[in-house]
Chain A
């Protein structure tokens, strides 16, 4: 291509003539917003915005936080995000099927857990109609990821409802700052065939594009199923695409636009603790604007998620749940500094969440949330920082459409019903010397009933309706934490001790409520309280070519349900379904062309809920004996651009009982990765 042709080609890719007049390419290199790589290189540690909304060094955040780097992800040998997370102290992963896992932070894990907020670059990717995360449907490939940020504990003051146990923010590479061109293909047991390709390219110095593609096909485990679940193993399929464009303009203005699409199908454990086969389809569109002004860094984020899923069980009496959910979010924030010691963040958000009723169609249930928040970080002294965040959410419910015959509620029971909740996060960080950091944190978080609970669920039985109801209370979570980080530079080692106490009231259960006067036979309801107390003690570091770590996370949960509620009718039991003792250990070695890593995890015995059947809500507890699992990876760099790796999960024992679902099998695969 001639020089002239290249010039015209580049011009043709520019934005419109009006935008081109603002284009920064003819101006000096202007200030950059969050260039993670450059900031990490400068400060020698990861940087994040996931605790306060303002950029911070990982060591300065007023929260318990773990950052998993791209190197950690690569060396984990995992083929999906839950596989990476299972090595993290304080994170629990329930591997229900080959492709489905539920992830929780600090206990309270359950099928399709709604207590963990998951985001990709600040956009929520959990299924908002229920609050769980179908990981296969998240349109992110592992090589896309710069870092995974895990905030342990409540962070509703920044992220809003449902960030009650923790937040996982997946930060991906930016095409304007990062150069990533990777393709990989993987094959292995359970008939796995998986591939991904990510490319970034710069249109010129001030515009870039990233395209990510990925997909896989696999069989589910072949370990024995219960009779009622037979027929759900129809294979695991996934494909996803994500396109991100980022352009920089004059006057410190940045614009990015992102589109994504994913399709996934898998057998999965439902909130009934029986097996459904569920195909998913998601789409998203996100716009991000950032401008540096005299009033601070102004940022606007607007996105819309479309989510469809059909949950069906093989039980002929079981109903088919068609989820059709749309979420629209607009967020505006201003981050500014006053003097040297005070950083502020002021924010506003509007969110609209809508779901069509199911299995009985014809009604639309929705809520709108208007929220305002503020954050103030005060550097009292160079070694002492106090951070306070507060947020007020005002939610209004709405319903329109079908009122089935004999149903005791009308649309007016929803319309206009509102709730106002305050959440806050407070943290003190004290660094008495260069080797130590102490954190004291207090937080109040809010888990709002999901749209299914609020009326999206609707079907008729001869004895009455099963329906969501508008009068549920939100779950309020109070979280207290005390952390101590101690560096041992002589040994390149770090000790981390985290203590926490968390109290939840007005817990939500999908079942257990009844309202005969309304002709409602079964409904979600608030069932009582639960308290968790625990610790995460970890020691790790690097020594020459070696890296290592060991952690112990004891946790005790005590449930205090209202009389009459138990696992049988409410399908909730945090106390007995949490392993009290968990130990993680890892050892890795890398030199020249080789990398070898191994991971061990021990969980003490616990109980796992097992559903009665897909047509009969109800549960029992199944004892899961204590077990040890091992993952490993060995990689050889064949050329500067080509790496061959063999990795596996659950290597020690196959099959292995880890939940009430069919036993988990050993998984081994071979991966060839090309970095261009």
Chain B
């Protein structure tokens, strides 16, 4: 019932609110790439991984992407020996979310700094498709799949959130 209400809200917002940028449709491939990159985080155990999909309820772009990610993950996205279980987390509720990982949606803008503080205090890694949030330090790791697969890690954000990576992985990615 809650999921149905959420979808209705998103649909109404999509009709009513102007969207400044075209929504980039996510695919299962995008999520799989992100999940594989997460697998190189040192403390990421095998088994279930609770993913908090962080969004702004009053931002249509953010809400839409949150819905897309949750929909693609469905009841769980299995990659290797991990299964990623999604939970929708509005940004104001992130501090109390019982999750292993934050997945920041696009469109959050400067308010992502709030998530960064929570991530650093609670030592929970933040991952996103919004590379600008990695460049400004709000999120630790960004993943891009076009034109080719790239993984970008903000070293300061990684250190602040207690996120370590496999050494071989670090050599092969972009660190800023």
Contact = CB atoms under 8 A, between A and B. Distances in A.
B76 interface: no
A33 B36 contact: no
Given A42-B149, A56-B172, A340-B176, A292 B45 contact: no
B39 A43 contact: no
A31 B39 CA distance: 10
Interface residues of A, number: 32
Interface in B52-93: 80
B14 interface: no
Interface stretch (B102-110, B113-121, B129-137, B159-167): B159-167
A43 B167 contact: no
Given A340-B176, A434-B147, A29 B167 contact: no
Interface string A38-55: 110111100100000011
A436 to B, nearest CB: 11
B166 A57 contact: no
Interface string A199-210: 000000100000
Given A29-B46, A31-B168, A335-B171, 9 more contacts: A29-B44, A30-B42, A32-B166, A39-B172, A42-B149, A42-B151, A44-B148, A55-B168, A434-B147
B175 A39 contact: no
Nearest to B155: A340
Contacts of B170: 337
A29 B80 CA distance: 14
A230 interface: no
Contacts, number: 74
A382 B135 CA distance: 15
Contact of A54 (B147, B155, B169, B171): B171
A388 B175 CA distance: 21
Contact of A297 (B39, B40, B43, B167): B167
A235 B46 CA distance: 51
A33 B45 CA distance: 17
A42 B36 CA distance: 6
Given A31-B166, A54-B171, A292-B167, A38 B80 contact: yes
Interface in A615-668: none
B28 to A, nearest CB: 14
A340 B65 CA distance: 30
Contacts of B39: 38, 42
B147 A31 contact: no
Greatest chain B CB density within 10 A among A34, A41, A56 is at: A41
Contacts of A31: 40, 42, 164-169
A55 B171 contact: yes
A297 B170 CA distance: 11
B174 interface: yes
Nearest to A34: B168
A348 interface: no
Contact of B167 (A205, A296, A340, A382): A296
Given A38-B36, A297-B167, A55 B42 contact: no
B46 A340 contact: no
A252 interface: yes
11 contacts: A30-B42, A31-B40, A32-B166, A33-B168, A38-B36, A39-B169, A42-B37, A44-B148, A55-B172, A252-B167, A434-B148
Interface in A2-42: 28-35, 38-39, 41-42
Contact of A39 (B45, B46, B147, B168): B168
Interface in B1-45: 33, 36-37, 39-40, 42-45
A550 interface: no
Interface of B: 33, 36-37, 39-40, 42-46, 80, 147-149, 151, 155, 164-172, 174-176
A30 B44 CA distance: 9
A343 interface: yes
Interface of A: 28-35, 38-39, 41-44, 47, 54-57, 59, 205, 252, 292, 296-297, 335, 337, 339-340, 343, 382, 434
B7 to A, nearest CB: 32
A292 B151 CA distance: 21
Nearest to A377: B171
Greatest chain A CB density within 10 A among B42, B44, B149, B168 is at: B168
Contacts of B167: 31, 33, 252, 292, 296-297, 335
B172 A340 contact: no
A457 to B, nearest CB: 44
Contacts of A339: 175
B80 A43 contact: no
A28 B172 contact: no
Contacts of B151: 42
Contact of B149 (A30, A35, A43, A54): A43
Nearest to A57: B172
Greatest chain A CB density within 10 A among B37, B40, B45, B167 is at: B167
Given A42-B33, A43-B149, A32 B44 contact: no
Nearest to A345: B171
A626 B80 CA distance: 50
A44 B29 CA distance: 11
Nearest to B151: A42
A29 B149 contact: no
Nearest to A40: B36
Given A32-B166, A42-B37, A42-B149, A340 B45 contact: no
Given A28-B42, A29-B46, A31-B42, A337 B171 contact: yes
A297 B168 contact: yes
Contacts of A252: 167
A159 to B, nearest CB: 20
A41 B172 CA distance: 14
A41 B176 CA distance: 23
A43 B168 contact: no
A400 B71 CA distance: 75
Contacts of A59: 148
A335 B169 CA distance: 12
A28 B148 contact: no
Contacts of B171: 54-55, 297, 335, 337, 343
Greatest chain B CB density within 10 A among A29, A54, A382, A434 is at: A29
A29 B44 CA distance: 7
Nearest to B143: A42
Greatest chain A CB density within 10 A among B44, B147, B151 is at: B147
Greatest chain A CB density within 10 A among B39, B171, B174 is at: B171
Contacts of B148: 44, 59, 434
A434 B150 CA distance: 12
A335 B170 CA distance: 11
A207 to B, nearest CB: 15
A54 B171 CA distance: 8
B46 A47 contact: no
Contacts of B46: 29, 205
A47 B148 CA distance: 15
A28 B165 CA distance: 13
A603 B154 CA distance: 53
A43 B42 contact: no
A382 B172 CA distance: 13
A605 B168 CA distance: 47
A292 B170 CA distance: 12
Contacts of A39: 168-169, 172
A39 to B, nearest CB: 7
